Amino acid sequence: MSQVNSWVTIDCHYQFPQFAAAFLKTKSGKSVLIENNTSHAIPFLLDALIKSGGAPDQVDFLIVTHAHLDHAGATGQLMQLFKNAQLIAHPKAARTLINPERLVESAERVYGQSQFEQLYGQIAPVPAERTIAVQDGDAIQWQGETFQFFFTEGHASHHCCVAIPESGEVFTGDAFGLCYPSISGKAPFHFPSTSPVDFDHAKAVMSIDKILSTQSRGAFLTHFGWVQDLTERGQLLKQHLDFHQELIEKSEVQQVEDEQLESWMLRELQQYFEDQLDRCGVQKSQQVLDILKMDIHLNAAGLTIVARKRRKSR
């Protein structure tokens, strides 16, 4: 747990240390939580709340950037604990969290029930009457600060970011990529997430431009923590996104067979990521490779889905 600009960054202990975060602010006894990870993170969230001087019945808002379970899985259970809190989310994410059955069924098919419970625990529905579905450009006032919501597709069709102009902060979910503190070198190793099922290159680039247009002095990444130098990082992310899109097109030119497509994507991305580690001066320890393994597999799966959709549409 660390604090930047009066926001507490909570390590949710998901997969690895400093892999997924939630963000808490308590002001005049009232609290707001942005992102909440899985039900396994609830003890860490409650501990941070109490240590910050907050209380469960004084939490005003739970805000999630999108409905992926490493960002929003604990929402329903937290709403039961924080009885006066309201959920704020993209309309599509709100609908999913109010009725999470299809999301759970889909994830259980991918992971199997045992691994699903190990990763995400229990998923409870969110009460519809305590949910605020924000529209693109909406703003909400909280304790003298403005929370501006703007849609940022490309990673997920139900993704939105939150900017606070008074403090120059923006919470980017997965729309501004990932940058793990444990993977560091002479340059930031900052890369995009193209996980299933909604990757869209053009929209992802547009979302980066939207985030940069807030002119925030720094961003809170869910994966992981506070980063600055956003213009430089944004340009780097666009280069990475271009490469990911080029892989989709390259797979068509090379006529990679459907059944070989995901393994081909995986090999190409593994080589690319290893080259980027070298470029950033990162020591390729087993720990570094283990941390990146899941993201590389997810990115490959996301690109494969897009490539297959393109083939079917022709």
Distance CA 195, CA 46 (A): 29
What pLDDT is recorded for position 2? 65
Spell out a b/e string for 151-178, using b for 16 or more CB atoms within 10 Å of the CB, else e. bbbbbbebbbbbbbeeeebbbbbbbbbb
Distance CA 292, CA 283 (A): 13
What pLDDT is recorded for position 1? 64
- What is the tens place of the pLDDT at every residue in 267-290? 999 999 999 999 999 999 999 999
What pLDDT is recorded for position 109? 79
Strand ranges inside the chain, DSSP E: 2-4, 7-11, 21-27, 30-34, 59-63, 86-89, 131-133, 139-142, 145-151, 160-164, 169-171, 218-221, 225-227
- Please list the residues that pair with 59 across neighbouring strands: 31
- Please list the residues that pair with 26 across neighbouring strands: 31
What pLDDT is recorded for position 106? 80
Distance CA 63, CA 291 (A): 26
Strands 86-89 and 131-133: parallel
CATH class of 2-179+200-230: alpha beta
User: Who wins on pLDDT, 187 or 4?
Assistant: 187
What pLDDT is recorded for position 269? 98
Q: Is the overall model pTM greater than 0.85, yes or no? A: yes
Q: What is the mean pLDDT of residues 281-307?
A: 94
Distance CA 186, CA 131 (A): 44
Q: Mapping DSSP to helix (H, G, I), strand (E, B) and coil, where does residue 128 land?
A: helix
pLDDT at 57 over 80: yes
- What is the tens place of the pLDDT at every residue in 118-132? 889 889 999 999 999
Instruction: Name residue, tokens 């993704």.
Output: 159
**Cβ pair 248, 310 in contact under 8 A:** yes
- What is the tens place of the pLDDT at every residue in 214-270? 999 999 999 999 999 999 999 999 999 999 999 999 999 999 999 999 999 999 999
Q: Mapping DSSP to helix (H, G, I), strand (E, B) and coil, where does residue 77 land?
A: helix
What pLDDT is recorded for position 3? 67
- What is the tens place of the pLDDT at every residue in 68-117? 999 999 999 999 999 999 999 999 999 999 999 988 888 887 778 888 88
